Amino acid sequence: ILSQNYNEFTWKSLASIHQEQLTESSKLLLGISQQEVSTTDKGIVVESGVEENATYDTNTVIIYSDGGSRGNPGPSASGFVIMSTKQEVLHQGGMYLGITTNNQAEYHGVRLGLEKALSIGARIVEFRVDSLLVANQLNGIYTVKNRDLWPIHERIKDLITQFDKVSFHHVRREFNQLADGMVNKILNAHEAE
């Protein structure tokens, strides 16, 4: 994968890496730190953010969002992770949705991410979603034919008008592991209740 931020990489064993050298997103992917899920009640947003006194540039953010349904329709959850342009995790969260479809859960992940980005003062948002349908519908390439998606699609369009710029990019599932992990943790916590 080409990147504008890095032009080389090295392989190291986990034992040879000092944890303070890793970004929070790297720690999450490597399993060194954990996403915590404290509640799975339907409609309650599960969130965690950076320390209140920490200062990060939140003008431009990258949001990874995801949604999942076990059964389609079935028990569903949405998740998002907001990152700085330097790949620092600024905020993460999600919500148990009850019985919905996978596409509805994907859309709710976008909505939750936009609502949080607005609350932290972001002006430019770059979304990375693993649903090609959602990316193409929100980019205006496809029309939204499913009536169940119309209300959430309209809510997202209303939220978009409150930012300077919002873009949607499709990424392969393996590049959306943080948001996917949040969705699965919420679903697993709900099943355990």
Chunked into runs of 10 residues, the chain (193 residues) has average pLDDT values of 54 58 53 48 66 70 96 95 92 94 97 96 97 96 95 96 98 94 92 80
| Residues in CB range of 153: below 8 A, 6 or more apart | 107, 137, 138, 144
pLDDT at 43: 64
At residue 94, φ and ψ (nearest 5 deg) are 180, 180
Q: Under a CB-based contact definition with an 8 Å cutoff, are residues 165 and 100 in contact? A: no
Instruction: Look at strands 89-100 and 45-49 and give their pairing.
Output: antiparallel
Residues 26, 31: Cα–Cα separation, whole Å = 8
At residue 134, φ and ψ (nearest 5 deg) are -65, -45
pLDDT at 56: 75
pLDDT at 20: 57
